[in-house]
């Protein structure tokens, strides 16, 4: 199943940089509508729903130049003080990454892989919200390049990176 990416042992030189997307899958998914069915009347009323997106990612080195990258999205919609719905997805991918310098490797894990995973996670969230009986919601694109650059900048300064976006 997993493709191993190795160095050229015979010549002692590193092989060309390789990036292989092996699989994209949903690792975990959850949807809750704790105040249904009463919340449906409130959404149709005058109160404007507020939506908050929490975003996270993690990467696990599985050995043999294989990495699991997990993009976590939690979408919380509230009306007044009550939660209308909570939709969560962990969209994951297996990536073979070899032959890159440390900076490029970090960029692939921190920006390129989440960029590939996001459209799949966005589709899952959209389906969950719609199938939960709520008006359609489409997450806006996220600039993972800018988020990664900000994370790198803050890491150099020692600041913690916030992972919350509001819309």
Q: E strands of the chain, at which residues?
A: 18-32, 50-63, 66-79, 82-98, 164-166
For 50, the domain range is 18-155
The answer to whether residue 90 sits within a structural domain is yes
Residue 9 included in any domain: no
Please check whether residue 6 lies inside any domain of the structure: no
pTM of the model: 0.82
| Whole-angstrom distance, CA of residue 102 vs CA of residue 115 | 19
Q: What is the pLDDT of residues 101-120, one digit of tens each?
A: 999 999 999 999 999 999 99
Q: How many domains does the chain have?
A: 1
Judged against a pLDDT cut of 70, whether residue 73 lies above it is answered with yes
Lowest-confidence segment of 7-11, 24-28, 29-33, 109-113 by average pLDDT? 7-11
What is the C-alpha separation between 6 and 14, in angstroms, rounded? 8
Q: With a cut of 60, say whether residue 10 has pLDDT above it.
A: no
Tell me the two tokens of residue 82.
């009550």
Q: Decide: 44 and 56 in contact? Cβ < 8 Å.
A: no
Q: Could you give the percent of the chain with pLDDT greater than 90?
A: 72
Residue 91 belongs to a domain with what CATH number? Answer: 3.10.420.10
Q: Which residue has the tokens 């939690």?
A: 74
Task: For residues 11 and 20, give the distance between their C-alpha atoms in angstroms, rounded to a whole number.
Answer: 23
Kindly state whether residue 99 falls inside one of the protein's structural domains: yes
């Amino acid at each position: 199943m997993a493709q191993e990416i190795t160095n050229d042992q015979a010549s002692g030189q590193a092989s060309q940089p390789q990036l292989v997307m092996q699989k994209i899958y949903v690792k975990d998914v959850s949807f809750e509508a704790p105040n249904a069915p009463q919340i449906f009347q409130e959404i149709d009323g005058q109160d404007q729903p507020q939506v908050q997106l929490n975003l996270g990612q993690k990467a696990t080195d599985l050995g043999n130049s294989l990495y699991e990258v997990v993009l976590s999205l939690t979408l919380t919609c509230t009306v007044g003080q009550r939660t209308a719905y909570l939709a969560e997805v962990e969209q994951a991918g297996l990536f073979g990454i070899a032959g890159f310098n440390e900076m490029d490797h970090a960029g692939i894990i921190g920006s390129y892989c989440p960029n590939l995973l996001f459209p799949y996670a966005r589709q899952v969230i959209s389906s969950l919200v719609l199938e939960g009986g709520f008006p359609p919601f489409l997450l806006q694109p996220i600039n993972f390049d800018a988020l990664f650059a900000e994370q790198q900048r803050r890491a150099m300064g020692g600041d913690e990176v916030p992972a919350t976006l509001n819309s």
